[in-house]
Structure 1
Amino acid sequence: MVAVELIGGLGNQMFQYATAKALSLHRNEALLLDSRLFDNYKLHSYSLKHFNIDASVVKNDVPLKDRSIPKKIIDKLLEKADALTLHNRIFKNYQEKELLFDENLFKTNKKNIYLKGYFQSEKYFLKYQDEIRKDFEIVTPHKKETADMLKIITAENSVSIHIRRGDYISNPNANAVHGTCNLDYYHRAIEIMREKVNHPVFFIFSDDIDWAKENLNIENTMYFVDFTDASTNYEDIKLMSSCKHNIIANSSFSWWGAWLNRNKNKNVIAPSRWFSTDMLNSKDIIPESWMKI
């Protein structure tokens, strides 16, 4: 069995799930999602329930049964005090040591492996991208505003722009690690898109949409997506991935919006500096086909 610890925002959860799903397919083993850390995590909540995911989820030590894992197997794994936390008794830990892709993950023969980390590289799951893309189809019904915006996006040479601020600004620790993409980055990216795309229409997504409205001036037609919030951020993923091209922030959230974009001729622009600190190596995060500026 492959189990994975889920933590962080939606983008992080998607990376963790995608890697665990790829490993479970590689090993032909069942998949178990451990979402219990969200029980005491105020910043984010478990958000994968909105996707087409068929896996057992452990919450408050109570597993939810699905078709892939018989209940008696899960009950056996969890029959002792707190089986998933006693990793050395049932699961063997795999702790991500750094952000670089580790090909050894797929070579290990440990039984009942438990993944802990962020796994921010498509190299972990690119082989199984068809399955991953299917799993990340949204099953929760869209809001009317989202459905209406999707019609506009699909009818235009749409370019998504994601501006991540939020805790990157308000939290000193997050700011020290991540920083934010400045306006110069976005202006340069917009100019590149205007050169590459005929009559681009820009769709702006942000966790600080008022700041974006005040600071982002584009001559082309643009739409500010201001009708979603943290509780429906999965709809932003849908909208961004439906755009034909993408300008992303240094954020796993817009990374997934661009990666799930099925346009074979898409242009994706990403910041060349993913972290504000040189202590973290981000070379495996951005796919080679994307442009870094």
Structure 2
Amino acid sequence: MIVVELMGGLGNQLFQYAIGRSLAFKKKTDLFIDTRFLTSRNVTGQRVVFRNYDLDVFNINPTLVTLDISRRYGTSSSFLNRYGKRLLNHWIKTGTLTYVYERIPFQYDSRIGQVDDNTYLSGYWQSVRYFQSVIKELKSDLCFKKPIPSFANGLAEDIQQQQSVCVHVRRSDFVTNLRHNIIETVYYQQAERMIRTHVTEPAFYVFSDDIDWCRTHLRFDGPTVFVGDEYAGEQAGTYLHLMTLCHHFIIPNSTFSWWAAWLSKHADKVVIVPKNWVYDRGTFIKSDELVYPGWIQL
């Protein structure tokens, strides 16, 4: 069995599912997920943002791990106990599973290549190299469970009939968390100029968790639609579905829109991502582990 611990929002959960799916496929074993830390409302620490299990917007149904395994290996909800428990799991191997935690974010960990069956994974695992070998299987897995709702059909048709550019703006908790490096409006201005060197007559569709801010602060030299919250749908599933229908992408340092771009079926899509992804330990971590050939870092 391969067990992967889920943490964070839908974009993060997708990266965690992807590495688990890849390892389970390679080892010809079953994939289990641990949602206990994700859904806990007793988590302590700075800048805690509670999330829900959101993978069920897709037509997948991974198996939940047993409570015993979750308690033995899963991340503690207490900030003071988290790292102690991690060290305990790493150094004292009294359980049935091998515990592997992510050492450095946004950097491929070569230990994953040696992972065997019966392993518990804890981390965010945000690198395309973790799941390159199962892209076909992932594309098959990550089909939306529900069709675009009828109230959004007109918008979906408009998106598909144009050289649509998905512009995603992430704010909310990023505004007060310096680690996430809020993307400034100048990035979107430069990205529009870059898009125009590749795309004729682009139409811009703006998606955001703060659409009113976008209406006030963003301007594009072309048809622009600000997609309001009424299109979000349950678990923001409709929002994500609409985003995947776009032809091209200007995304911030957001795993949510990263997956929208990845799931887009347009082979000739132009995807622009910020070069600096997060600010960590006094320096910027680049988006190198997240770009594909043809994707543009700006």
**TM bin (shorter chain):** 0.7 to 0.9
Aligned to 1:249: 252
- 2:249 and 2:27 mapped to 1: Cα distance? 34
SS at match of 2:238: helix
- 1:93 and 1:38 mapped to 2: Cα distance? 18
Pairwise CA distance, 1:43: 2.1
Partner AA of 1:200 in structure 2: P
Aligned to 1:136: 142
1:46-195 correspondence to structure 2 within 5 Å: 46-58=53-65, 78=66, 82-87=68-73, 88-99=94-105, 100-109=107-116, 111-169=117-175, 171=176, 175-195=177-197
Pairwise CA distance, 1:144: 2.4
Pairwise CA distance, 1:280: 5.8
8 Å contact kept, 1:26–1:106: no
Give the superposed CA RMSD.
Answer: 1.8
8 Å contact kept, 2:169–2:207: yes
Partner AA of 2:270 in structure 1: N
Aligned to 1:289: 294
- 2:147 and 2:139 mapped to 1: Cα distance? 18
Aligned to 1:216: 218
| Per-residue CA distance 1:110-164 (angstroms, 9 max, x = gap) | x410110001111111111111112111013432233322111111111100001
8 Å contact kept, 2:39–2:51: no
1:273 paired with 2:276, answer: yes
Q: Using structure 1 for the length normalisation, give the TM-score.
A: 0.86
SS at match of 2:72: coil
- 1:180 and 1:230 mapped to 2: Cα distance? 25
Given the alignment, which residue of 232, 237, 242 partners 1:239? 242
Change (3 A) 1:158 1:212: same
- 1:203 and 1:236 mapped to 2: Cα distance? 11
1:40 paired with 2:23, answer: no
- 1:127 and 1:106 mapped to 2: Cα distance? 12
Aligned to 1:7: 7
Percent of aligned pairs with the same residue?
32
Q: Give the number of equivalent residue pairs.
A: 267
Aligned to 1:228: 231
SS at match of 2:264: coil
SS at match of 2:181: coil
| Per-residue CA distance 1:228-268 (angstroms, 9 max, x = gap) | 34843122222122111100011111111111112111110
Pairwise CA distance, 1:272: 0.9
- 1:7 and 1:179 mapped to 2: Cα distance? 20
- 2:254 and 2:291 mapped to 1: Cα distance? 11
- 1:39 and 1:275 mapped to 2: Cα distance? 25
8 Å contact kept, 2:233–2:239: no
SS at match of 1:86: helix
SS at match of 1:98: coil
Unaligned runs of 5+ in 2: 42-48, 74-93
SS at match of 2:168: strand
Aligned to 1:73: none
